[in-house]
Amino acid sequence: MNLKRNWVYWISQFAGWTLYVLLNLIISSTFKEFKPQYIYSWIFLGVLGIVLSHIYRNFIKKRGWKNLSLKSIVPRIFIASLVLGSILFLLVFLFNVSFSIVPVKEYQLGGIIARLVNLSSLFLFWSVIYFAVHYLENYKKAEIESLIFEAAVKDFELKTLKAQLNPHFIFNAMNSIRALIEEDPESAKNAVTKLSNLMRYTLKIERTETVPLAEELKTIKDYLDLEKIRFEERLDYKINSTAEADRFEIPPMMIQTLVENGIKHGISKSTTGGEIAIDCMIDSDKLKITIINTGTFDEEQMKNSKGFGVSNTIQRLNLLYGEDASFIIKNINHNQVITEVKIPLGGIKHESFNY
């Protein structure tokens, strides 16, 4: 990278100063008093310009001017340009006089001032370009670092959300299985298998950002079967999905979190139990997930509960899909809550989602 930057720098140096010399030779050749030996003077000026500007560049780097504020840099640039312009004029003057290219008598005060202003302006222009390139590179670098940092933060947030999605149902499931071991050993074996599937799925999601909907629904079925052991006849469920929807990639544990939320804050609080129905389908250009469960939705409870599944889902949609996703939860009918999630077919976007 540094080698490439050096090549660009030297090419720019030679091209810039060569262009300056050529333009001045073309302009000077239009005057009658132009002499062929003036070419040597302009070539000497170009070579000196490259040398002096390179020394100036090293001075800037050594003094750390690139780290200064604009207010501090501007006066330094003006002074440096004036000094360098004067040095360049003096050296070219000595060269012209020493080799009789331009006699001393041809140097008038007005001409001397004009040449000093011209050469100083040239170094000022060089300085502006040099610092402009530097600030542009720093801006791009800062922008890239900001994006990398933002991505790292979002990745950390997503992993944190995944880790807190399903913390407590395992303990309930194990207690239910323990009660089944003596009463119904076969059912206990099936329950252990389902719990094992859930644990395997939980480990898998740490390494992936999305999973097929069919895989998520299979996990939900295992989860609900385990919960039915605990709730017995107090829990019924229905899961419907189309073949097209089953192939859709979704954030892992997202639906399961909402289902768990419906049981924890709805069905478990009802003395008669209840039902949870899950319906998945492709609606226009989005996957539409609808969950209806027994219970009531309390928005204040959601805001005050750190482990509330609704809050987690909103945050994940926020991080993954931005405004392309939508989330609705509300009470319907008598003692029922409907949750509707729509995810774009275009996939993960990583932007800002407003709830």
Domains in the chain with CATH codes? 2-159 (no CATH), 164-344 (3.30.565.10)
307 vs 106, more confident: 106
Banded model confidence at residue 50, pLDDT cuts 50, 70, 90: very high
Banded model confidence at residue 48, pLDDT cuts 50, 70, 90: very high
Rg (CA), the chain: 37
Percentage of the chain lying above the pLDDT 70 cut: 85
Which of 166, 353, 346, 349 minimizes the C-alpha distance to 248? 346
Banded model confidence at residue 350, pLDDT cuts 50, 70, 90: very low
> Is residue 355's pLDDT more than 70?
no
Banded model confidence at residue 45, pLDDT cuts 50, 70, 90: very high
Q: Which helix (H) or strand (E) holds 177?
A: helix 169-183
Question: Are 224 and 259 in contact, with CB atoms under 8 Å apart?
Answer: yes
Banded model confidence at residue 287, pLDDT cuts 50, 70, 90: very high
Q: What's the whole-number mean pLDDT along residues 279-304?
A: 84
Banded model confidence at residue 354, pLDDT cuts 50, 70, 90: very low
> Is residue 349's pLDDT more than 60?
no
Helical H runs in 232-275?
243-246, 254-265
Q: What's the whole-number mean pLDDT along residues 252-275?
A: 85
Measured distance CA(16)–CA(2) in Å, rounded:
21
> Is residue 334's pLDDT more than 70?
yes
Token pair 């928005």 in the structure block, residue? 299
Measured distance CA(273)–CA(295) in Å, rounded:
9
Measured distance CA(124)–CA(53) in Å, rounded:
11
> Which residues share a beta bridge with 278?
239, 291
Output the six-digit token pair for 242: 């189309």
Per-residue pLDDT, 352 = 36
Q: Which pLDDT tens digit goes with each residue over 155-177?
A: 655 555 555 445 566 777 777 78
